[in-house]
Amino acid sequence: MNTEARQVVAFHYRLSEGGQPIESSHDRGEPMCVLLGGGGLIPGLEKALQGRSAGDSFEVTLAPEEAYGPYRPGLVQRVPKKYFADAARLRLGMATVLRTRAGGMQRVIVRKIGSSVIDVDLNHPLAGKALTFAIEVTALREATAAELEHGHAHGVDGHAHEH
């Protein structure tokens, strides 16, 4: 972690791929609020937000390597149906969660359904895609000591949570 003054940036974004809208922060109403350098952003967005000012609007298109990484065919795995809580309701292309050996939850996409097994895709849904972000920076401020310690932003005013 570097020792320069670190910034918290709030921004709205519209994400699209090849002209097709994928999602937008406007759908939630609230802008995204992140600590730059906190690891909460994909690398290309982190870079694109450096040195901006409140009120800046810009568009950036990121290669997969700067976004969610290349698509890895090896991340498609065959899993027995008994490991799915919701096997009966799953359809092709649906997202579900699998419990990992480490006890965590892994979001997966259903690629193929057999009689006793299901092929799931562990790639991020946006892996392998070139993504365009239309960004509008709404606010910018220096990070608080608590934010630097936690490694994440505490909302636009810096007091979103205490822990």
- For binding to Zn ion (CB under 5 A), which residues are involved? 150
User: Which CB, 101 or 161, lies closer to Zn ion?
Assistant: 161
Q: How far is the CB of 118 from Zn ion (least distance, A)?
A: 37
Residue 44 CA to residue 128 CA, distance in Å, equals 14
User: Which CB, 40 or 69, lies closer to Zn ion?
Assistant: 40
User: Which CB, 111 or 150, lies closer to Zn ion?
Assistant: 150
Q: Where are the alpha helices (DSSP H) in the chain?
A: 43-48, 145-150
Amino acid at 68: Y
Beta pairing, strands 105-113 & 117-121: antiparallel
Q: How far is the CB of 53 from Zn ion (least distance, A)?
A: 26
Cα four-point dihedral sign 26, 51, 39, 61:
positive
Q: How far is the CB of 154 from Zn ion (least distance, A)?
A: 6
Task: Give the list of residues 6+ apart from residue 57 with CB closer than 8 angstroms, or none.
Answer: 134, 135, 136, 137
Q: How far is the CB of 40 from Zn ion (least distance, A)?
A: 12
User: Which CB, 81 or 150, lies closer to Zn ion?
Assistant: 150
Name the closest residue to Zn ion (Cβ): 150
